[in-house]
């Protein structure tokens, strides 16, 4: 392993892993804790088990708001990156997120009042929202085209690791749920990762592209040399810095403010923003959050198993999802983004359709109930392949170089808002329309497949500057998709300048 790969490995271990482990763990940790006896004794306002009628309904609303307040905090945190991401830079912004999660986790695990509990949950969400928007941007801007996909898609693996660990931790502490330690320790565990992240982030290079954007070209040259582990006077460093500068200069007169995102100037900005927003919409609205957050409830309703067995089965489902996440790590830079998107889309649409069918018979048919549970595991196989890690990667690739932090933060905030909607609506939907709820996600999944096929261009193997130049070409959206597919077949190290790309586009159009 060369020095550059060692540096990337260390960055992955000490920055990327803590960021996205905190994402997954904190998102689902309170889902099981709110039913622990010690927790409900201290916070009776959240106890729905020992209530009925109007009181149960009232407490269900409070509990739902508490659980989902994390996602509202995350939406605020992700949105804030539109401003602080370009003001503070990538590393300092990630540090702000780490400080927020540390404070939030400290407040949560030491809570003796409902208000403190809520504030801790919201602050934790804000920090995680910053991670989800800024870390993929930093990774993309600091990675080479040939391995950028593998470097960023690993985020999804770490998210699912947080899910899996959390489910097993909660299962273990459910055995002693009469004691305060049963919920305080699970809430305190992630604080160790937040503490490490506060300091580790500054041991790694800042984004060269951000440094060029703010006029610190000399520092950008040094940081790029650190990333590639070569002499700063090397020809490849000078060539790449020049390409970054040219890319910024070519867009400087057109796109420099937030309102420009809602126009089609400077390389189809609105189209590119909608690609990001659409992808993050489908991450939540194809049913993934239903499976991740409410798998315990679904297993319990369908199979009528004991609480302990149900928790084990749910933990196994999340562990299986974690293992399935590794598939995209080995395929994202080999088969491309579109192939993974389409494979995932077809798979999850099929799973939701089958879950709707089997769940409609599961109350009276044990075979159908087992089949329904099987499709939960199958969904957890397909979803990480094309929507978990790859979605964060793709958004950073198609975003404008000058407005990358802004566009990524907007699309990520959109993700968290849909997440909030799903968390609030799912308990009500499952109890009212039952199996028909899965039909909604099957239909949305079908729209995902169609949209990816016709609207989403391939980005594999292309530098961020080459992708920027592609969107600058005066061609229609369908032609952009077609051209990108052809360009993805070029050697990764073949850098086309603006004039060369224009000639290549004309050749492809003639073909």
Q: What residues does each domain of the chain span?
A: 3-204+259-455, 205-252
Cβ-contact 333, 151 below 8 angstroms: no
Q: Which residue has the tokens 């909660």?
A: 170
Q: How far apart are the first and last CA of the chain?
A: 42
Tokens of 138: 């930093």
Q: Of 86, 15, 109, 164, which is closest to residue 400 (Cα–Cα)? A: 86
Tell me, rounded to whole angstroms, the distance of Cα 72 from its chain centroid.
15
- CA gap 509, 511 in Å, rounded: 5
With CA atoms as reference, report the closest residue to 78 among 33, 23, 139. Answer: 23
For 183, residues 6+ apart whose C-beta sits below 8 A from its C-beta are 33, 36, 38, 39, 173, 177
Q: 111 in helix, strand or coil? A: coil
Angle between helices 17-33 and 53-88 (to 10 degrees): 170
What is the model's pTM? 0.83
Length of the chain: 511
Closest listed residue to residue 462, CA positions, set 243, 229, 225: 243
Alpha helices by DSSP H, listed for 253-306, are 265-285, 288-303
Cα–Cα distance for residue pair 299/430, rounded to 1 Å? 13
The CA dihedral of 151, 163, 422, 304, to the nearest 10 degrees, is 140
Secondary structure string (H, E, C) spanning 189-215:
HHHHHHHHHHHHHHHCCCCHHHHHHCC
CA 251 from chain center: how many Å? 28
pLDDT at 493: 45
> What gap in Å lies between CA 24 and CA 240, rounded to an integer?
35
Fold designation for 3-204+259-455: Growth Hormone; Chain: A; (1.20.1250)
Are 339 and 398 spatial neighbours (Cβ–Cβ below 8 Å)? Answer: no
What's the confidence (pLDDT) of residue 492?
45
Here the tokens at position 223 are 């940081």
Euclidean distance between CA atoms 48 and 55, whole angstroms: 8
Write the CB contacts of 455 (distance below 8 Å, at least 6 apart in sequence): 275, 278, 477, 481
114-127: b (≥16 Cβ within 10 Å) or e: eeebbbbbbbbbbb
* Contact indicator for 277, 414 with CB cutoff of 8 Å: yes
Strand ranges for 303-351 from DSSP E? none
C-alpha gyration radius of the chain: 23
- Judge whether 468 and 400 are in contact, CB under 8 Å: yes
pLDDT of residue 455: 93
Name the token pair of 347: 């798979």
- Rounded Cα distance between 176 and 33, Å, is 12
Mean pLDDT by 10 residues, the chain (511 residues): 72 91 91 84 82 77 84 92 88 95 96 93 95 88 71 83 91 87 94 94 89 88 84 85 76 59 76 91 87 74 72 88 89 88 94 89 75 90 88 84 81 88 79 85 95 92 81 86 75 48 53 53
How many alpha carbons fall within 13 Å on the CB side of residue 118?
13
Q: If you write DSSP's letter for every residue of 315-383 in order, what string do you get?
A: HHHHHHHHHHTHHHHHHTTTT-HHHHHHHHHHHHHHHHHHHHHHHTTTTT-HHHHHHHHHHHHHHHHHH
The tokens for 309 are 């067995």
Closest CA to 157 of 314, 315, 13, 2: 13
Residue with tokens 């050697």: 491
Backbone phi, psi, residue 388, to 5° = -85, -80
């Amino acid at each position: 392993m060369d020095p550059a790969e060692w540096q990337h490995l260390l960055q992955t271990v000490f920055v990327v892993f803590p960021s996205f482990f905190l994402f997954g763990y904190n998102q689902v940790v309170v889902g099981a804790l709110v039913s622990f006896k010690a927790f409900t004794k201290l916070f009776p306002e959240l106890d729905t088990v020992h209530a009925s009628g109007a009181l149960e309904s009232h407490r269900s609303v409070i509990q739902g708001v508490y659980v989902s307040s994390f996602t509202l905090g995350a939406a605020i945190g992700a949105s804030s990156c539109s401003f602080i991401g370009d003001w503070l830079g990538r590393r300092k912004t990630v540090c702000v997120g780490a400080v927020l999660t540390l404070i939030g986790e400290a407040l949560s695990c030491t809570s003796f009042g409902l208000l403190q509990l809520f504030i801790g949950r919201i602050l934790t969400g804000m920090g995680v929202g910053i991670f989800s928007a800024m870390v993929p941007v930093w990774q993309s801007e600091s990675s080479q085209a040939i391995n950028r996909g593998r470097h960023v898609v690993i985020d999804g693996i770490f998210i699912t690791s947080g899910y899996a660990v959390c489910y097993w931790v909660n299962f273990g502490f459910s055995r002693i749920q009469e004691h305060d330690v049963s919920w305080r320790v699970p809430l305190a565990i992630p604080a160790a990762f937040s503490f490490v992240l506060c300091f580790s982030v500054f041991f790694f290079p800042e984004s060269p592209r951000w440094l060029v954007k703010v006029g610190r070209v000399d520092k950008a040259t040094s940081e790029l040399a650190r990333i590639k582990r070569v002499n700063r006077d090397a020809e490849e460093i000078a060539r790449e810095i020049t390409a970054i500068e040219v890319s910024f200069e070519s867009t400087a007169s057109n796109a420099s403010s937030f309102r420009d995102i809602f126009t089609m100037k400077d390389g189809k900005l609105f189209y590119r923003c909608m690609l990001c927003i659409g992808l993050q919409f489908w991450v939540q609205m194809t049913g993934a959050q239903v499976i991740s957050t409410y798998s315990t409830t679904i297993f319990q309703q369908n199979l009528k198993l004991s609480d302990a067995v149900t928790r084990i089965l749910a933990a196994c489902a999340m562990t299986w999802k974690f293992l399935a996440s590794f598939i995209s790590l080995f395929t994202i830079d080999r088969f491309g983004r579109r192939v993974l998107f389409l494979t995932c889309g077809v798979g999850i649409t099929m799973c939701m359709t089958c879950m709707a069918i089997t769940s409609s018979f599961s109350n009276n048919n044990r075979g159908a109930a087992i089949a329904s549970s099987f499709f939960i595991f199958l969904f957890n196989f397909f979803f990480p392949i094309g929507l978990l890690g790859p979605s964060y990667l793709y958004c950073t690739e198609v975003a404008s170089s000058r407005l990358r932090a802004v566009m990524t933060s907007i699309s990520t905030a959109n993700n968290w808002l849909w997440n909030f909607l799903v968390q609030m609506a799912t308990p009500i939907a499952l109890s009212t329309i039952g199996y028909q709820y899965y039909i909604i996600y099957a239909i949305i999944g079908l729209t995902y497949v169609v949209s990816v096929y016709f609207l989403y261009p391939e980005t594999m193997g292309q530098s961020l500057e080459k992708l920027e130049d592609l969107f600058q070409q005066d061609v229609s959206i369908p032609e952009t998709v077609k051209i990108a597919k052809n360009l993805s077949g070029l050697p990764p190290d073949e850098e086309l300048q603006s004039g060369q790309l224009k000639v290549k586009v004309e050749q492809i159009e003639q073909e």
